[in-house]
Structure 1
Amino acid sequence: MPEAPQLSVVIPVYNEQDNLEPLLAELAPVLDGLGRPWEVLFVNDASTDASAQVLARLAAAEPRVRVITHRINSGESAGQASGFRAARGELVLTMDADLQNDPADIPRYLAALRADLDCVCGYRAERQEGWLRRFASRTANRFRAAITGDRLRDAGCTYRLIRRRALVEIPVFNGMHRFLPTLIKAQGGRVAEIPINDRPRQFGVSKYGINNRLWRGLADCFGVRWYQRRALRVDRVSED
């Protein structure tokens, strides 16, 4: 029986069959080098390719790998939420399955998570995407900052390290993953950012375009602004 994990890595998966084995092969040695027990939770969001079969092989070969399966395709926010609910570690790392997030950055996340912080977010200093996607991201970030007041450098980057205690009362909705640091701040949490390495996609295709990345995110800003005004602090209970 594997040792109880201190770090849970949550990875939503949708049609990433060619990326999964290389990802775990790169990720596992980095996690082993941290000197703390870990688990990886792959959340298969009703993939229609061979992702389910690949994940079954990975879990059979590595007892620290767990697979969560969605009956219906529900999106990245649902994938993260399912992973958060199943995570056993006190620290939760979220990353993508497309190999664009570099596992070598993980020790830097842990070093940056000071005792007074609840979340460390990555920002892609040199993004490996076309000009149209970069333009859409800049536009969304500026609009988001104007509406929510949260001036994250790269709100679209979902490579983050979070204390599990900060996730207990996070509202779950379609689009939550884009606003997770903002929601944590609204509940009284503290968030920091670090620059990370962004790599080009090698296999498969992106699941996001202008319609589901830009316009939906802009509309969600107004709902998040409402939540910021109504949110309760998670540290409201005295420990005495």
Structure 2
Amino acid sequence: MREMTAEKNHRSVEVSVVIPVFNEEDNIEPLVDELQTVLDKVGKSYEILLIDDCSSDDSFPVMKKLRQTRPFLRILRHRVNAGQSAGQATGFTYASGEIIITMDADQQNDPADIPALLDSLKGEVAAVCGIRRKRMDSLVKRYSSKIANAYRNFITGDSITDAGCTYRAIRRNALGELPVFNGMHRFLPTLLRLQGYQVVEIPVNHRPRTRGYTKYGIGNRLWRGILDCFAMRWLRKRAVPGNRVERESQS
């Protein structure tokens, strides 16, 4: 069970941006500044949630300093390091927006793509997932990601182009029954489809990391990812639709 310190927000907003953070002290302020510029132009009320996953650098002090001059910023902090999936799950719990945007804290996701993500969230679409075009990572990471995507699709029976891209826009009402587990963030599109929701993909920009270092590699996710794929295959046969209520009955 993850523990955290946080404050509840009762302010109603249209868009919540959820960003798990672990040791990204140099990326937080420029990312928040970029997001503010883009979101101000979108024309929707918004909040930005920074979920500190028990960082050991100065990420948390940086967040607190930014909070003093940015009323749209909310800070949540895990008391134990719980991982990226837990960070997203915490954001889903505390976010107030009807639409939730998830992204990484390393500045490789481009805030300029937010309008396109929101524009694609139309009709019955419950989630829009990014596909990183011209991915700015090492050759090893790019090829291992292609192999991992092909493998997960083969095992799960799904078709997700870039499961490792966590840049997404999701309707809040689609997240109510989402199972939370370590690795959930990589399978979120598949989980939503298993519950009967419509998921689409669009190309998004991908930028090189210029500050800090990556926390995830082949060694710390290979075997866990393989096991998770078989868990998804089992869940495919057992999943209960999440949008099963046609309408509220009147009495």
**Runs of 5+ consecutive residues of structure 2 not aligned to the other structure:** 1-8
Residue aligned with 1:73, SS: coil
- Of residues 83, 105, 119, the one that matches 1:111 is 119
Match status 1:203 vs 2:202: no
Counterpart in the other structure of 1:141: 149
* Residue deviations 1:22-70 (CA, integer Å, cap 9, x gap): 0011110101111110000000000000000000011111111000000
Q: For the aligned residues, what is the CA RMSD?
A: 1.3
Residue aligned with 1:153, SS: coil
Match status 1:54 vs 2:49: no
Distance 1:229 1:32 in 2: 43
* Residue deviations 1:130-178 (CA, integer Å, cap 9, x gap): 1111111011111101111111110100000000111100000000000
Under a length normalisation based on structure 2, what TM-score does the superposition of the two structures give? Answer: 0.93
Counterpart in the other structure of 1:89: 97
Give 4+ residue runs of structure 1 displaced > 3 Å after superposition: none
**Runs of 5+ consecutive residues of structure 1 not aligned to the other structure:** none
Within a 5 Å distance, the mapping from 1:144-183 to structure 2 comes to 144-183=152-191
Assess if the C-alpha contact under 8 Å between 1:2 and 1:64 holds in 2: no
Distance 1:2 1:202 in 2: 36
Distance 1:16 1:212 in 2: 19
The alpha-carbon distance between structure 1 residues 173 and 2, as it changes in their structure 2 partners (threshold 3 A), is closer
Distance 2:10 2:216 in 1: 36
Assess if the C-alpha contact under 8 Å between 2:92 and 2:175 holds in 1: yes
Percent of aligned positions with the same letter in both sequences?
Answer: 53
Distance 1:201 1:219 in 2: 29
- 1:3: Cα distance to partner? 5.6
Distance 1:236 1:4 in 2: 26
* Residue deviations 1:44-98 (CA, integer Å, cap 9, x gap): 0000000000000111111110000000100000000000000110000000000
Greater helix share, structure number: 1
Match status 1:219 vs 2:227: yes
Within a 5 Å distance, the mapping from 1:38-77 to structure 2 comes to 38-77=46-85
- Of residues 84, 95, 100, the one that matches 2:108 is 100
Assess if the C-alpha contact under 8 Å between 2:22 and 2:55 holds in 1: yes
The alpha-carbon distance between structure 1 residues 104 and 67, as it changes in their structure 2 partners (threshold 3 A), is same
